[in-house]
Amino acid sequence: MGRVKREASEEPYEDAPRRVRGKARQGGDTSTLLRQHGILAARIRATPWPQSGPASTDAPCDADDSTVLPTLKAYATQSQLPHRTQLIDVAWRPPPTAWSAPTAAVAATPCEPSASVPIMFHAASASVQIALPPYTSMTLPDSASATHPCHMFDAGGHIYDLAWAPQTEAQDGEYLLVACSHHREPSARVADPSCADDGQLQCWEWDPATAHVQCLGRWVCDAGAPLQVAWRPAPPPPGTLGIAAVAWSDGTVHLLEVPLRSEGVQRLVAERVLRVPGTACYSLAWGGDARLAVGCTNGTIAVWDLDVSETPACVAPVHDTTVSALSWQMLPPISMDGEPQPDARPHLLFSVGWDGCEYITDVADMEAPLRHTHSREPRYAATWLPWSGSWAVDLGDHQFGTVSLRTHDMGRHHALGFHHARVLCMAASACHPFLATGSAEGSVKLTSVLAMAKRKTAEEGSRFMHKLFRLARTDSGFVWHQGFYPEGVLPRAATRKNGPPVVIDRWDPQVAVTSVAWSPNAGRALLLASGTALGFVHIAWAEG
């Protein structure tokens, strides 16, 4: 009898690991992912910097098209930084629905943060000392490219969250919604007791024609401070910037039509307010333009179909404590016959919490969530990666990586990179495969998800994380650093044995990067905004 090929070893451990073969086990095959789920990619004719005018996209084309496939391959094998000539939209968008969230804006009692003082910092790359007063902006040249300036502005207080507004082609500028505190110091209070603990929403416009950033409006609400913001992924109603879901410190979620601009400080009054009895809403995630998921402080997750009812479609306790981040699996559901259903709504929800757990929950069976892993460290960030068909998550030990959804290693983590402090936020784009992450030590890094996931696309030890900037505090004050060399990830065998390099450092809590956001609009997908606990916001065109 001839030798029989053994499919798998029955031994729990082997002296030599088996060689993994096949593209499916290498990961990062975007064209196969799109083909399996029936998603049509669209090449973006990007708007050149800094020319004004709306960007546009080509007609959707098959992922096997000769004009798209080479670009997908180039991203996985060559690109270490994004480039506007390689932008391709691979997003799946559920069918649009029609519903409104009317909002009234009336004049409010002035709540000016008089206690806030200008941010004083040293720009190391330009060798200049800068004073940035509240609600003002400035522009500095990028040390990597003279044609791509960096924009900075002072929001006046701690940045809770920020998000770019989705737009139609009729709009030229980019609009950034910022949720922040009135004061730079958490213990500061103003003279007016009615505004002592309030925060504010701010809208800032980036004008590509003049490469200038300016504040368009500031709004307050009786609900307290805005902790999380998420734009409805749909064209804005006439006369507004769009509809935003805002989680406030009183535990409610308001659906607000954000005005184009305002004079002075105005008070927003929402006519649609969402609540979960017995708890406070904290994290938000849109699954299309009508399905909204909310994570609560007691571990409960609620899902609304807003075009149907203002009552939650399903509510269930999932975590043991605060749900810090939510993210939908934005792939068309698969029918029993194995066919994608592009007209359905997303139904799988990934969540992380302060209890250190990661859960995947099916809205059709909320009472039986699947727990992937548990650690003793809280988790703060998670997002969907359209180019790799997986979730990105902070791993709790200063590292960040992906949660695999492939059959052979379902639920396993694959490390993408690391910071030298706790990872607090992350953002991904449907137009390029680069993940932006921010940490407590004040740095923002860019990582190519495809180059890190495909094991044979680069030599061992040559996978890079590019540090965009770092805000640090020294004995003489705050310092803004730029122009870093890339940081490499150690080879897989060495990483498993030794772990990431240990760096002992100290940092001020005010330099923490609390939120990062890529622009969701065609041609502007390389525009990255980063907010800090100091109130300092950095906007850059992240291009190689």
Q: Hey, what long-range contacts does 121-130 have (CB within 8 A, 24 or more apart)?
A: 121/471, 121/477, 121/478, 121/479, 121/480, 121/536, 122/476, 122/477, 122/478, 122/479, 122/480, 123/480, 123/482, 124/479, 124/480, 124/481, 124/482, 125/480, 125/481, 125/482, 125/483
Distance CA 252, CA 223 (A): 8
Predicted local confidence at residue 384, as pLDDT: 95
Its domain, for residue 60, covers 30-89
Q: What is the 3-state secondary structure (H, E, C) of 96-163?
A: CCCCCCCEEEEECCCCCCCCCCCEEEEECCCCEEEEECCCCEEEECCCCCCCCCEEEEECCCCEEEEE
Q: Is residue 80 part of a domain?
A: yes
- The DSSP line for 381-434 is -EEEETTTTEEEEE-SSSEEEEE--SGGGTT-EEEEEE-SS-EEEEE--SSS-E
Q: Is residue 197 part of a domain?
A: no
Q: Is residue 508 part of a domain?
A: no
User: Are β-strands 212-220 and 487-489 bridged in parallel, bridged antiparallel, or unpaired?
Assistant: unpaired
Task: Per residue of the chain (544 residues), give pLDDT as tens.
Answer: 455 443 343 334 334 444 444 444 444 578 888 888 888 888 887 666 655 555 667 666 655 566 676 677 666 666 678 888 788 889 999 988 888 777 766 655 555 544 578 888 888 777 788 888 889 999 888 766 667 788 999 998 999 999 999 987 656 788 999 999 987 765 544 444 444 457 899 999 988 777 789 998 888 888 889 999 999 998 888 888 889 999 999 999 999 988 887 777 888 888 889 999 999 999 999 999 999 999 999 999 999 999 888 889 999 999 999 999 999 999 998 888 888 888 899 999 999 999 999 999 999 888 888 887 888 889 999 999 999 889 999 988 888 988 877 666 676 788 888 898 999 999 999 999 999 999 999 999 999 888 765 544 444 444 678 899 999 988 888 999 888 878 775 544 444 445 555 555 578 889 999 999 999 988 889 999 999 999 999 999 888 7
Before 50, cis peptide (omega within 30)? yes
Predicted local confidence at residue 204, as pLDDT: 94
Residue 436 near residue 93 (C-beta atoms within 8 A): no
Residue 405 near residue 470 (C-beta atoms within 8 A): no
Distance CA 55, CA 45 (A): 7
Question: How many structural domains compose the chain?
Answer: 1
Is pTM beyond 0.85 here?
yes
Q: Is residue 34 part of a domain?
A: yes
Predicted local confidence at residue 334, as pLDDT: 85
- Residue 254 carries which side chain, given as an amino acid letter? H
Distance CA 507, CA 512 (A): 8
| Helix (H) or strand (E) segment spanning residue 525 | none
Q: Is residue 40 part of a domain?
A: yes
Q: Is residue 253 part of a domain?
A: no
Q: Is residue 52 part of a domain?
A: yes
Q: Which two tokens stand for residue 37?
A: 């789920």
Distance CA 241, CA 506 (A): 40
Q: Which two tokens stand for residue 14?
A: 């082997």
Distance CA 300, CA 169 (A): 38
Predicted local confidence at residue 24, as pLDDT: 41
Predicted local confidence at residue 408, as pLDDT: 63
Q: Is residue 69 part of a domain?
A: yes
User: Are β-strands 159-164 and 174-181 bridged in parallel, bridged antiparallel, or unpaired?
Assistant: antiparallel
Predicted local confidence at residue 26, as pLDDT: 43
Question: Burial of 207 by CB count in 10 Å (0-12 exposed, 13-18 middle, 19+ buried)?
Answer: middle
- Give how far Cα 349 sits from Cα of 306, 413, 429, Å: 17, 17, 18
- The DSSP line for 453-473 is H-TTSS-TT-EEEEEEEEEEE
Distance CA 430, CA 322 (A): 28
Predicted local confidence at residue 109, as pLDDT: 52
Question: Burial of 21 by CB count in 10 Å (0-12 exposed, 13-18 middle, 19+ buried)?
Answer: exposed
